Amino acid sequence: MELKKGIGVSTGVVIGPALLLDNDEIRIGRRAITLAEVAAEQQRLRTALTAASDDLRDLRERTRRNLGKEMAAIFDFHLALLNDPQLQAAFSQGIERDSHSAEFAVRRALREYGKHFTEHPDAYFRERVKDIYDLERRLLQHLMGAGKIRLEPTDQPVVIVAHDLTPSQTASLDKSKVRGIAIEAGGRTSHTAILANSLGIPAVVGLDSLTREVTTGDVLVVNGYSGVVIIDPDAATIEEHQKYEQRQVRYRTQLDSMRHLPARTKDGVDIKLFGNIEFPHEVDTALAKGAMGIGLYRTEFLYLAGGHEPTEEDHYAAYCRVLQCMGQRPVVIRTLDLGADKYSPFQDQVPEANPFLGFRSIRLCLGNLRIFKTQLRAILRASTRGDLRLMFPLISTPLELRQAKMVLKDTMEELDEQNIPYNPHLRVGMMVEVPSTALLPKPYVRDCDFLSIGTNDLIQYTLAVDRGNQRVASLYSAANPAVLRLIKNVIWSARSRRRAISLCGEMGGDPDFTLLLVGLGLRQFSVAPQHIPEIKKVIRSMNARHARQVAQRALGFEHTQQVMGFLREETRKILPDIFSEVPAKPVTATV
Ligand code: PEP
Ligand code: MG
C-alpha cells in the first residue's frame, strides 16, 4: 500500500481498478515505398484524414451536447490543424518526394511542426503540443487500422492513470466507465482539470511518477477532496474508504435537499451564497446547488477553450445564456483575467520573467483596448437582459481603476452614438486580490459599487507563494494571520461605507473558514457550486454572535497552525458531522 499526494481538482472519493493509458509511442518502421506504391499511400492518407476529421466533428458535437459550446471549441483547434494546407502538403510531400509510408510521413511532419510549439516562449503554445500529439495518434490509428481510440477495454468502471490526458481524451471519457482520474501532469487550471470537474469525475493531478508505480488492474483509491491517491490499499483501507464514500454520497444528497432553504444563521443573519463559474453551462449546477446568483464568472475561459478569438457576438451570446438561466438573480461578470498562467493564442504575450507580477489581467486589458472594448460592448449590451454586474480583476492602484472605468465610459458613449441600449446604472465593482488594495481599500470602496476579495491571488501575493507550485504549497494558507488581517481590513472598510462586499476565492468554499468569515462581517460568499450546500449547512448551524467571538480570537494568533487548529475545533463543535464525514485535511491541503 502506498500513499501519493497530488492536487485534488475534482471532488469525490472513488475506489477502482487502474487502467494505465499506454502512452507508448506507436512504433512505425521507416519503410521506403516504391514509385508504384505512391498513389495507394496518398489514397490511404486521404482516407485517414477524412476519418480523423469525421471523428473530430463527432467528438465536437458530442462534447457540445454534453458539456457546452466552449468545451467543444477545443476540437476546433484539432480540426484547424488537420485542415491546415501546409501540413497536408507536408504529409503528401513526405510520401511523394521522400518515399515515406503514409504513417511515417504523418509522424515526421507533425513532429517537425510540434517542435516549433515546444520551443515557443509562450506557455500557451508549449501546452498545445499535446494537441498535436493527440492528432498524430488519431491519424496513425486510422492509418494502422486501429480505429477509434478506446479508453475502456474493460467492462468494469476504471480509474484512468496516465502521465497526462489530452483534452480530446478527457472529453471523450464515458462517465459510466470512468470512476476517477489520476495523472502526473497538470494543475488546477489545466484543460483536464476543468473537463474532469465539468464531467463530475473525481480527479487528482500532479502525482509525481505515478505511471511508474501503477499497472493496469492495481486497485486505487482516488480522493479528489484531499488530493490523495492510495495504490494497492489493504482490506481495512478499502473498507474504510468504501464506507467513507457511502457516507459522502448520503451526506451530499442530504445537503442538496437544503437547496431551497435560506442560508440564515440560527440567530437570524442572512448570508448570500453565490456560485463561481467558468462556462455558461455550469449555471445549471449552480442553480441545482441553490446559488442565489453568480458571484464570479471567469470569462477568460471563452478565450482559453475556444479555437478562435471570441467575437463581440460570442461574448454576448455566452453572457445572455447565463443571464437567461439565472432569471432575475445577479450575475457578476469579471472582465478578462488573461496572462500569468492563463495564456491565449490571441494575445501578444512577450515572455516575462515573472508573469504573475507582469502584464496580466486588467493591465493586459488596458494595454489592449481593442480586446477590452470588444468584451465591454458585449457586457453592456447584455446588461439589459438581467441583473448583470461588471467586475474588474487585479486592480492594484486607484489610477488603474479610474482608467478601467474611463474605458467603460468611452464604450458606453460609443453605444450611445450607435443607439444601442444598455443599462446606464450598471453596477461596477472590482476584485481585491493585491495587498496594496487590501491594505488601503478606501479609494476603491469610494469608487466602486461593490468589492470581491480574491483570496487565491491575495494569499499568493501576500505570502510570496506561487499558488500553483507544489513545492511551496505548504506555505500557502488562508489561515496565515497576515492574510486574515487583510481580509478583515477590506470587509470592515467596505461595511463602514455600506458597500457590498463578497469573497470569491477558494477559501470561501472551505467550511473550516465559514465561522471566521461570517464573524469578520462577510455576508456574501461566491464559491464553486459544489461547495454551496456544505457552506450553507455550516451557516445554518452557527450563531453570528459566536462567529464574531471566533473571528476575534482567531485574529489574536501569530501562527497559521494555531488559527487552523482553532477554526477546526470551533467548527467541529457546531457541526460534528462535517469532520466525521470529511477527514481533516493537513494544513498544506487547505486553501
Ligand atoms: C482569486 O484570485 O481569488 C480569484 C477568485 O480569481 P482567480 O482564481 O480566477 O485568479
Ligand atoms: Mg485572481
CA of 454 to the centre of ligand 2 (A): 5
User: What's the CA gap between 544 and 540, in Å, rounded?
Assistant: 10
In tens digits, the chain (591 residues) has pLDDT values of: 889 988 888 888 899 998 877 554 455 666 778 989 999 999 999 999 999 999 888 888 877 776 677 777 778 888 998 999 999 999 999 999 999 999 889 988 988 888 888 778 777 777 777 778 878 878 887 887 644 444 434 457 889 988 877 655 676 677 788 899 999 876 654 557 766 876 779 999 889 888 878 877 889 999 987 889 999 999 998 888 888 878 878 888 888 888 889 999 999 999 999 999 988 988 999 999 999 999 999 998 888 766 678 999 999 999 999 999 999 999 999 999 988 877 665 665 677 888 899 999 999 999 999 999 999 999 999 999 999 999 999 999 999 999 999 999 999 999 999 999 999 999 999 999 999 999 999 999 999 999 999 999 999 999 999 876 667 777 889 999 999 999 999 999 999 999 999 999 989 988 999 999 999 999 999 998 988 999 999 999 999 999 999 999 999 999 999 999 999 999 999 988 665 544 433 232 333
Helices and strands, counts by H and E, the chain: 26, 16
Q: Going by DSSP bridges, is the β-strand pair 500-503/330-334 parallel, antiparallel, or unpaired?
A: unpaired
Residue 373 has a CB neighbour count (10 Å cut-off) of: 18
CA of 332 to the centre of ligand 1 (A): 14
Catalytic choice (100, 142, 191, 531): 191
Chain-centroid distance of CA 270 in Å reads: 29
Atom of ligand 1 nearest to the CA of 504: 5
Atom of ligand 1 nearest to the CA of 393: 6
Q: Which CATH superfamily does the domain covering 259-581 fall into?
A: Phosphoenolpyruvate-binding domains (3.20.20.60)
Q: For a substitution probing ligand 1, which of 457, 463, 507 has the most ligand atoms within 8 Å of its CB?
A: 457
Q: For a substitution probing ligand 1, which of 190, 274, 298 has the most ligand atoms within 8 Å of its CB?
A: 298
CA of 335 to the centre of ligand 2 (A): 11
Residues with CB under 6 A from ligand 1: 296, 298, 337, 433, 454-457, 504-505
Write the CB contacts of 399 (distance below 8 Å, at least 6 apart in sequence).
none
CATH 1.10.274.10 fits 35-143, yes or no: yes
Ligand (nearest to CA of 297): 1
Give the strand order in the sheet containing 228-231. Answer: 2-5, 228-231, 219-223, 13-20, 158-162, 178-183, 203-205, 7-10
CA dihedral for 316, 318, 324, 326, sign (positive or negative): negative
Domain ranges of the chain: 2-21+151-251, 35-143, 259-581
Question: Residue 169 is placed in which grid cell?
Answer: 481524451
Atom of ligand 1 nearest to the CA of 452: 5
Tell me the whole-structure pTM to 2 decimals: 0.73
In DSSP notation, 147-164 reads -S--S--SSS-EEEEES-
User: What's the CA gap between 125 and 114, in Å, rounded?
Assistant: 10
CATH 3.40.50.720 fits 2-21+151-251, yes or no: no
Catalytic choice (241, 315, 504, 546): 504
Domains 2-21+151-251 and 35-143 share a fold: no
CA of 455 to the centre of ligand 1 (A): 7
Is the Cβ–Cβ distance between 580 and 553 less than 8 Å? no
Ligand (nearest to CA of 304): 1
Report the candidate in 417, 367, 415, 361 with the shortest Cα–Cα distance to residue 391: 361
Atom of ligand 1 nearest to the CA of 453: 3
User: What's the CA gap between 219 and 588, in Å, rounded?
Assistant: 26
Fill in the amino acid letter for 386. G
User: What's the CA gap between 425 and 175, in Å, rounded?
Assistant: 44
Q: For a substitution probing ligand 1, which of 189, 341, 431, 467 has the most ligand atoms within 8 Å of its CB?
A: 431
Looking at the DSSP bridge assignments, the partners of residue 297 are 277, 333
Whose alpha carbon is nearest atom 8 of ligand 1? 456
Is the Cβ–Cβ distance between 331 and 297 less than 8 Å? yes
**Angle formed at CA 487 by CA 402 and CA 379, multiple of 5 degrees:** 40
Atom of ligand 1 nearest to the CA of 456: 3
Is 308 among the residues known to form the active site?
A: no
Is 504 among the residues known to form the active site?
A: yes
pLDDT digits (tens, 9 = 90+) for 226-278: 889 999 999 998 888 888 878 878 888 888 888 889 999 999 999 999 999 98
